Amino acid sequence: MIRPFAFALMLGSCFVSMAQAQQWASKMFTETEHDFGTVARGAKSEFRFEFKNIYEETIHVAGVRTSCGCTTPIVENDTLNTYETSAIIAHFNTDRFLGSRSATLTVTIDKPYFAEVRLRVRGNIRGDIVVEPGSVNFDTVSEGSKAERLIRVKYAGYSNWQINDVRSANPHFEAEIKGTRRESGQTVCDLLVRLKDDAPAGYINDQLVLVTSDRSGGEIPVSVEGRVQPEFSVSPKTLFLGDLQQGEQVTKKIVVRGKTPFRISQVDCGDGCFEFRADEEAKAVHMVDVTFRALQPGKIEQSIAIRADGRAGVAASIIAYANVAQAEVATEPVE
């Protein structure tokens, strides 16, 4: 009578530990589900399941498998040190599938411990609407510059179909319907999309929504992607200073790059625990020493701003992290 009870107890403990294993891994993800909604055939449809290593140990993603060929998973970066970020990119294969589709992406982590995280996607691919090309791709645009791209939307249906409006929550986009016509039994609409010159530096991963006269699924999303290349860049973007004891000191290097030679006028963060040393000469690449003195215990998260001579505002910035343990106080034995 003892053996079945012991086995059941062991089995129950196994299930509890397995559930806990999934929990620590799932906590790294900001989202685990996504609905693509209704999308056009051939439209580029991707979603980034972003995750961050919030632990001291290095995380390694062994792989990702999918339950349906309608979605292809891509691991952006399979190895993450503390506070580094990555993403599982779910690519919805609108060029090869039609209709309502769903998939489960299983992310397998093998280090520091084994765990699996399940991500779920779904969407409806319309076969009567085609977007060419599949997205608005601005490629790389220099900061402060404008750009424009033309896409074509085709509809195979009733003749008075049209795009009534183009919406976007991003104020840096402008869209103009250039004309609607009938070709070979289809309604063809040309759409000109502009990127304004005040768009901030960084990657563009956004959407336009085409509001059509179609009563069933009248809103069609179109992906907008590209990169606004900044005048200055800094690496690494996240500076992990390590695990320190109170009173210890550490020095790390960061690299600041510019399109043309420049001088660093100031590096500051408003915290007296940090010191910075940079070259005074003008050049396109600067090595900056960042020295941190662990004066107070606790978790440190500090933004560091880098300013360039002759430029207004902050040229580049990074975030520095550290874990500072309280110094042990030695006590003398009582005689």
- Domain end, chosen from 59, 91, 124, is at 124
Torsion angle of C-alpha atoms 41, 44, 49, 52, degrees rounded to 10 = 180
Q: Would you state the pLDDT for residue 214? A: 83
Q: Would you state the pLDDT for residue 312? A: 66
Within a domain: 13? no
What total number of domains does the chain contain? 3
Residue 92 has which token pair? 């919805």
One domain, residues 241 and 273? yes
Confidence of residue 329 (pLDDT cuts 50, 70, 90): low
In this predicted model, what pLDDT tens digit does every residue of 127-145 receive, in sequence order?
999 999 999 999 999 888 9
One domain, residues 179 and 253? no
Q: Would you state the pLDDT for residue 119? A: 97
**DSSP collapsed to 3 states, the chain:** CHHHHHHHHHHHHHHHHHHHHHHHHHCCECCCEEEEEEEEECCCEEEEEEEECCCCCCEEEEEEEECCCCEEEEECCCEECCCCEEEEEEEECCCCCCEEEEEEEEEEEEECCCEEEEEEEEEEEEEEEEEECCCEEEEEEECCCCEEEEEEEEECCCCCCCEEEEECCCCCEEEEEEEEEEECCEEEEEEEEEECCCCCCEEEEEEEEEEECCCCCCEEEEEEEEEEECCEEEECCEEEEEEEECCCEEEEEEEEEEEEEECEEEEECCCCCEEEECCCCCEEEEEEEEEEECCCCEEEEEEEEEEECCCCCCCEEEEEEEEEECCCCCCCCCC
One domain, residues 239 and 286? yes
Within a domain: 11? no
Q: Which of 152, 212, 148 is nearest to 181 (CA)?
A: 152
- Domain end, chosen from 176, 198, 229, is at 229
Q: Would you state the pLDDT for residue 4? A: 40
Share of the chain above pLDDT 90, in %: 60
Q: Say if residues 85 and 49 touch (Cβ distance below 8 Å).
A: no
- Number of CB atoms found within 10 A of residue 223's CB: 19
pLDDT of 292 above 80:
yes
Whole-structure pTM value: 0.68
Q: Would you state the pLDDT for residue 146? A: 94
In this predicted model, what pLDDT tens digit does every residue of 85-140 receive, in sequence order?
999 999 999 999 999 999 999 999 999 999 999 999 999 999 999 999 999 999 99
One domain, residues 96 and 137? no
User: How many angstroms separate the Cα of 207 from the Cα of each of 161, 210, 225?
Assistant: 22, 10, 8
Considering 18-22, 188-192, 210-214, the range whose residues carry the highest mean pLDDT is 188-192
- Domain end, chosen from 214, 229, 244, is at 229
How large is the average pLDDT for residues 311-328?
A: 82
pLDDT of 238 above 70:
yes
CATH number at residue 223: 2.60.40.10
Structural domain boundaries enclosing 173: 133-229
One domain, residues 181 and 219? yes
One domain, residues 186 and 261? no
One domain, residues 241 and 310? yes
Within a domain: 268? yes
One domain, residues 244 and 190? no
Within a domain: 4? no
